[in-house]
Amino acid sequence: MKQNQEITHPFQLLDEIIAQHTVRSLSLNPHKTLITSFVELGNSVAEKTCDVQLINSLSDTLERMLHTMLHNFPENIFWDFDFIVSSMLKQALVAKDGAVSFLESFGDKIVSLLELFGRQSEIRFRYVHDFIFGFVWAKWVQEEAHTRALIEPFSLTFLDCLISKGKKIIQLIGVGDARYHQLSEKCYRNPFCFSREPEDEYRLLTYLATQQLIPVAAWNWNAQPVWDKPFHQLREQLSLKLNIPQNS
């Protein structure tokens, strides 16, 4: 009992962080409204390992990620962490003696990503949905499927590619690129042809989830990521079907 309390305690702190912020921790899972609690995720971790150092390192990394996400994407709508925690643990266990080093590196890269693409940067995206639910990953794999098809959505390889892409975008913004232009501080960047205002984003993503058209079912610990569907085009088509306002 004592060991189990030691394991779940740091994950309880993560739930408290969520509770302290004015976010409603919604899940994109079509069968439930709110996310799996971090305590529940901690219990799933404890079923896979009893290494307290690894568990504490995992919790510390998640705490860093959560603080950075809340700071850079305060208007994010869906907060599912199941699959990313599962992926982190799986990769850490494969690293064996290097598990803690892996988690520290993973956390550094996620923090860099969130800071690069969030509201504090020149890029200024509103949500982390495209990353957490695998839309960016699926598009990236499709570009070179013969070499990328086996690369996981939350692998260090893909995170490095996203960081590199973010830095290039910031350079383009700096030189007044036609596609990546400067934004006013009150605006969010939207590269899509349809509105991503909160009510529209909620409607489109929840519909996609019911149709099983989400590349990474982030609410599922055992999700099987899918990249070989035209997710980008499907989002555009379904935005029209749902009468979501289109950008002029």
* CA 11/CA 182 separation, integer angstroms: 39
Any bridge partners for residue 78, and if so which? 26
Q: What is the structure's pLDDT at 160?
A: 98
In this prediction, residue 176 carries a pLDDT of 84
In this predicted structure, what is the pLDDT of residue 8? 55
User: Do the Cβ atoms of 159 and 106 come closer than 8 Å?
Assistant: yes
Q: And the tokens for 5?
A: 């309390």
**If you ran DSSP here, which 8-state letter would residue 248 be given?**
-
The encoded tokens of residue 95 equal: 């690293």
106 touches 152 (CB < 8 A): no
What size, in residues, is the chain? 248
Tokens of 13: 């702190």
Give the pLDDT score at 180. 87
In the chain (248 residues long), the average pLDDT of successive 10-residue segments reads 53 94 92 96 95 96 97 96 98 97 98 96 96 98 97 98 96 88 86 95 98 98 97 96 91
Phi-psi region of 224 (alpha: psi -120 to 50; beta: other; left: phi over 0): beta
34 bridge partner residues: 26
Residue 2 has a pLDDT of: 42
Long-range contacts of 62-66 (CB under 8 A, 24+ apart): 62/11, 62/14, 62/38, 62/88, 63/10, 63/13, 63/14, 63/17, 64/107, 64/110, 64/111, 65/107, 65/110, 65/111, 65/114, 66/14, 66/17, 66/18
pLDDT at residue 192, rounded to an integer: 93
